[in-house]
Chains A and B, each alone.
Chain A
């Protein structure tokens, strides 16, 4: 996801207040734990991986009436009404949308987040913990924009998620939940085209 500015711009609101403001706001904000968190821009590798991933999935999904969309679609989490903008969301069949106002999704089947150094911790911890409450969710992917690295959580039943990580540039992930395959080569096209020559670590000291 893009960077939330937790320090500078967070303030407290009810879910209703947040939605009312957000629907007319020029910028996007997430609403988590009662706090409104502004989102800002992201790095080139981040947006390139997001675009590659959405295209790779949507190409396979759209002929079947499903879609992969990127981070302008708000997703509601659980009964506590928290709202986030995941980097990539897959909807199979008809999207279920909140309150007849067609801008907030209730039934994502797959959510993918591309890490950026500033949000790594927030994504990996808080959001994943919350995403697990979405009953429709079957797969959660976390991608590094800096090296071939995809972490995948695949729902087995109410309580269990199967975790696997893929680090091979040549790997192809079968995403059974959405009937797609995902080649890391496609995900990282134009970002990490030649793995041997790719920088080992673009992150600043101390990130991951």
Chain B
């Protein structure tokens, strides 16, 4: 996810009050059982990885039963009482939303988090714990922005997940969405800090 501002201390909000406020707010926040965490911008690499993910998955999902949302789709987790914004969300088949505004998704099939130093702790901890509680979720991915490295957790049973990690030139299969993600394509251009063909960057 994008970098949250450091531990915002606010009075406890109910989920309903948070949602009403967040829908009207200009900047997004996440919500964990009363705790509101503001979200800030993200690095270039983070942005490029999300863009590449959407392009690569989007091309494969086009015309099928799956939909893909980047960065701006809220996911509600009733067990955790949380609203989160995963970096990428895929839902296959029927989409279920909290209400007719269709901006709170209830049944993601796949979520992807591009890890950032400032949020990795929360992404791997509380946020992932919340993902695992969603009965609809079949896979979640952690994508590194430090090196070509993806961890895929695939649901194995109600309480078990299979971790597979992929590095460098390998590809990772996203079975519930019927997609393949080649790491070379996912990381294309991500580590180039200069303009292509213009090494001085001017």
Give me the interface of A with B, judged by CB distance under 8 Å: 120-121, 124-125, 132, 153, 156, 159-165, 205-206, 208
Contact = CB atoms under 8 A, between A and B. Distances in A.
A161 B153 CA distance: 9
B162 A165 contact: no
Interface string B17-50: 0000000000000000001000000000000000
Main secondary structure of the interface of A (DSSP, over half): mixed
Contacts of A162: 156, 160-163
Given A205-B9, A208-B121, A160 B162 contact: yes
A125 B147 CA distance: 14
A165 B132 contact: yes
Contact of B163 (A121, A125, A161, A208): A161
Contact of A125 (B124, B160, B162): B124
24 contacts: A120-B121, A121-B120, A124-B121, A124-B124, A125-B124, A159-B164, A160-B162, A160-B163, A160-B164, A161-B162, A161-B163, A162-B160, A162-B162, A162-B163, A163-B153, A163-B160, A163-B163, A164-B160, A165-B132, A165-B159, A206-B6, A206-B7, A208-B121, A208-B122
A121 B121 contact: yes
Nearest to A149: B129
A120 B129 CA distance: 15
Contacts, number: 45
Contacts of B9: 205
A120 B123 CA distance: 12
A159 B9 CA distance: 41
A153 B120 CA distance: 19
Contact of B120 (A125, A165, A206): A125
A205 B7 contact: yes
Interface in B152-200: 153, 156, 159-165
Interface residues of B, number: 21
Shortest 9 CB-CB contacts between residues of A and residues of B: A206-B7, A121-B121, A161-B163, A208-B125, A163-B161, A164-B160, A163-B163, A208-B126, A160-B164
Nearest to B122: A208
B159 A159 contact: no
Contacts of A153: 163
Contacts of A164: 159-161
B168 to A, nearest CB: 14
A28 B120 CA distance: 27
B124 A163 contact: no
B114 to A, nearest CB: 14
Nearest to B126: A208
Nearest to B132: A165
Contacts of B124: 124-125
Contacts of B122: 208
A17 B35 CA distance: 46
Interface string B63-98: 000000000000000000000000000000000000
A125 B162 CA distance: 17
A160 B165 CA distance: 8
Given A162-B156, A163-B160, 6 more contacts: A120-B125, A121-B120, A159-B164, A161-B163, A206-B7, A208-B126
